[in-house]
Amino acid sequence: MAFAWETKNQTIPWGNINFSNNTPNIGDTNIAEAGTLDLEWNRLSLYTGNDTYRRLAEGSVRTIAGLIAPLPGLAAQGVSPATNEFTDNMITWGGGSDSYFEYLIKYARLTNTDDNLFADTWHTAVDSSIKSLLRKSIVGDHLYLAGRDDEGKIVHASSHLACFNGGNWILGGKLINNDTIVDIGLDLVEACWNTYASTETGIGPEDFQFISFDSFQPSDTRPNAQQRQFFEKHGFFITTPYYILRPEVLESNFYAWRATGDTKYLGRAASAIDSFRKFLRVDSGGYSGINDVDDANINRGNRMDDTESFWYAEVLKYLYLTFDDPDHISLDKFVFNTEAQPFEAPPAKPVYGSGSIIPPTGPYVMKAPGAPLPAISPIPAL
């Protein structure tokens, strides 16, 4: 995989490699692909004694974090390995960006580095999100993280993928000793769980939007009559109704349980298990995705002929650990990568980061709109 760095001076890897000849496919990538190797490759260097892996992966994150971002700490989604520049202006905690932000604080914890860049960049991203992206729905007062489109306009949208944010904010807030961030993280967990509690199957959708107190923006979906009726009851409306066995809502539920000890999170995990057994289980004993989480008629073509690996790696693991002894794979001793693989960490430092956000180093220059969005669904048909 190190062939993704074509030259010695290249700091951001190309997104794809032809392994038959170890040749990278030249093209733009996104911050999730380029910024989500450092946990794994740091451990690889530790266990092999070859520091090349750490240097490459960490160098990519450092490059992204060092670019002037659309909002302080909030890197744009698209990035070019050829120029070390962002290729668009989009901001999201969802697919294409998600795990870059996730790994900033986790890398600081796993390595106990004295370099505050990672924790402070995460802290800065969260601070900017609180100031610019947090929105409440006009129904239900649910707290969501909005995004920004290529024109720099707010998008009142979120996704199952983005629902990792609550657990990440809980973890990071604990590590930087910031109770405000922990509390907001818990509110984000509540809003994401509401997407499960509101559907006919008790399972949340792939994508959803909401109406807030600020005005509609160009990239917002204006709800049709059925969506508006759903919103008036639940505080969000579904824009992409399928569920492909994603883990993020239950991942954040796990972090909320471990952080608070509130047994409501056990009840929610149990409710999800009941829904999975009822609507996802197939006769052969496996589990499949469904096309519409708000359709409880499982005999009406609502099945996908597909089971994703993250069902086993993440969903079942986070459910198992929610009901397990909290001292087993304790969050005080382990850091989970983005696919829920636990890495043993050294004893925690008293605090991570300097406690300060990183000031902008200059004005952000808007990129020409139109950069291609990353393909974030593993199912080709979607």
pLDDT tens-place string over residues 247-276: 999 999 999 999 999 999 999 999 999 999
Handedness of CA 125, 130, 133, 139 (dihedral sign): positive
For the stretch 369-375, contacts whose Cβ atoms lie closer than 8 Å and that sit 24 or more positions apart, written own/partner, are 369/88, 369/89, 369/150, 369/151, 370/88, 370/150, 371/28, 371/78, 371/87, 371/88, 371/90, 371/150, 372/28, 372/78, 373/77, 373/90, 373/96, 374/30, 374/32, 374/33, 374/77, 374/78, 374/95, 374/96
373 has a pLDDT exceeding 80: no
Average pLDDT over residues 221-237: 98
Spatial CA neighbour of 165 closest among 187, 150, 148: 187
H-state helical runs in the chain: 31-34, 38-48, 52-66, 98-111, 117-132, 165-175, 179-197, 225-234, 248-260, 264-279, 309-310, 316-323
Handedness of CA 326, 328, 329, 331 (dihedral sign): positive
85 is known as an active-site residue: no
Name the active-site residue from 33, 102, 206, 251.
Answer: 206
281 has a pLDDT exceeding 80: yes
Interacting residues of 366 by C-beta distance below 8 A, sequence separation 6+: 70, 89, 152
Binned at pLDDT 50, 70 and 90, residue 292 comes out as very high
Interacting residues of 39 by C-beta distance below 8 A, sequence separation 6+: 103, 106, 107, 110, 335, 337, 343
Binned at pLDDT 50, 70 and 90, residue 82 comes out as very high
6 has a pLDDT exceeding 90: no
pLDDT at 146: 98
Helix axes 248-260, 316-323, angle to 10 degrees: 20
Write the single-letter amino acid at 307.
T
Stated pTM of the model: 0.96
The per-residue pLDDT for range 102-130, each reduced to its tens digit, is 999 999 999 999 999 999 999 999 999 99
Interacting residues of 47 by C-beta distance below 8 A, sequence separation 6+: none
pLDDT at 380: 62
381 has a pLDDT exceeding 60: no
Q: Could you tell me the two tokens for 246?
A: 């994603």
DSSP 8-class letter at 161: G
**H-helix or E-strand spanning residue 208:** strand 207-209
- Residue 254 exposure: Cα atoms within 13 Å on the Cβ side: 26
Distance in angstroms (rounded) separating the CA atoms of residues 268 and 191: 13
